[in-house]
Amino acid sequence: MKNKFYIALAVVLPVFQLVIGGTAGFFNGRINLVLVVLIILVNLADFYWVVLFATASGLLLDVYSGLPFGLLAGSLFLTALALSLLFNNLFSNFSFHSLLLFGLIAVLSYNLFFTGLVVLAYSLGFSDYLPHWDYFYKVLWQIATTELLMIGAYYFINSWSKKFKPAFIT
d(CA 115, CA 120): 8
Domain ranges of the chain: 2-160
Q: Are 53 and 37 in contact (CB under 8 A)?
A: yes
d(CA 30, CA 47): 27
pLDDT at 160 over 90: no
Q: Beta-strand (E) ranges in 14-135?
A: none
**According to the model, what pLDDT value does residue 76 have?**
95
Q: What is the pTM assigned to this prediction?
A: 0.85
Q: pLDDT tens for residues 121-149?
A: 999 998 888 888 888 888 998 999 999 98
Mean pLDDT of all residues in 94-98: 78
**According to the model, what pLDDT value does residue 169 have?**
38
Of 84, 76, 46, the closest CA to residue 58 belongs to 76
- Name the residue type at position 124: L
Q: Are 122 and 129 in contact (CB under 8 A)?
A: yes
